[in-house]
C-alpha cells in the first residue's frame, strides 16, 4: 500500500512502518522498492519475531510457539537490494535518523543507476 501511495504522490515523502515479521512475509515488496525507487522510507521495527502474537502467547499460553523468528541482518539485506540503510539504536537517534532518511528517500543509488544503464 505504501509503495502505491509513494508512486501516486512522488512530490510527497511516504513513510511505511513495518514489523520484521510482516516484512519477512512480504520480501517481494522490498524488491519492488529497489526496482521502482519510490520516494519512500521504510521503518522496520525489529523485535526478532511476531511481537503481537508473542505477547498474546505470553499472556494466555503456557509456552511460546512459532513467534521467535530468525531475522536477517537488515543492513546486509538492504545492501543486497542496493538500498540505503540507516539504523536507530537509541531513542534519541530516532528524530535525526528519520529526518535524514526521509530527506534522502527515493534518490537512485549509484548501484541501481549503473545496473539500469548496463541493461
Ligand X SMILES: Cc1ncc(C[n+]2csc(CCOP(=O)(O)OP(=O)(O)O)c2C)c(N)n1
Least Å distance, CB 52 to ligand X, is 3
DSSP letters spanning the chain: -HHHHHHH-TTS-EEEEEEHHHHHTTHHHHHHHHHH--SEEEEEE--SB-HHHHHHHHHH-SS--S-B-----HHHHHHHTT-------SGGGHHHHHHHHHHHTTPPPHHHHHHHHH-
Task: Rule CB under 6 A: say whether 21 interacts with ligand X.
Answer: yes
Per CB under 6 A, the list member of 17, 52, 76, 94 interacting with ligand X is: 52
Which residue lies nearest ligand X, judged by its C-beta? Answer: 19
45 binds ligand X (CB under 6 A): yes
Binder among 16, 40, 42, 50 for ligand X (CB under 6 A): 50
- Residues contributing to the site for ligand X (CB under 6 A): 19-22, 45, 47, 50-53
Amino acid at each position: 500500500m505504501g509503495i502505491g501511495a509513494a508512486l501516486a504522490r512522488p512530490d510527497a515523502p511516504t513513510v511505511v512502518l513495518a514489523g520484521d515479521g510482516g516484512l519477512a512475509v512480504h520480501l517481494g515488496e522490498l524488491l519492488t522498492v529497489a526496482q521502482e525507487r519510490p520516494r519512500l522510507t521504510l521503518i522496520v521495527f525489529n523485535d526478532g519475531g511476531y511481537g503481537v502474537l508473542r505477547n498474546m502467547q505470553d499472556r494466555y499460553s503456557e509456552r511460546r510457539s512459532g513467534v521467535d523468528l530468525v531475522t536477517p541482518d537488515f543492513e546486509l539485506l538492504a545492501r543486497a537490494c542496493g538500498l540505503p540503510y540507516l539504523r536507530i539504536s537509541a531513542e534519541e537517534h530516532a528524530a535525526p535518523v528519520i529526518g535524514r532518511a526521509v530527506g534522502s528517500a527515493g534518490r537512485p543509488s549509484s548501484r541501481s543507476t549503473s545496473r539500469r544503464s548496463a541493461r
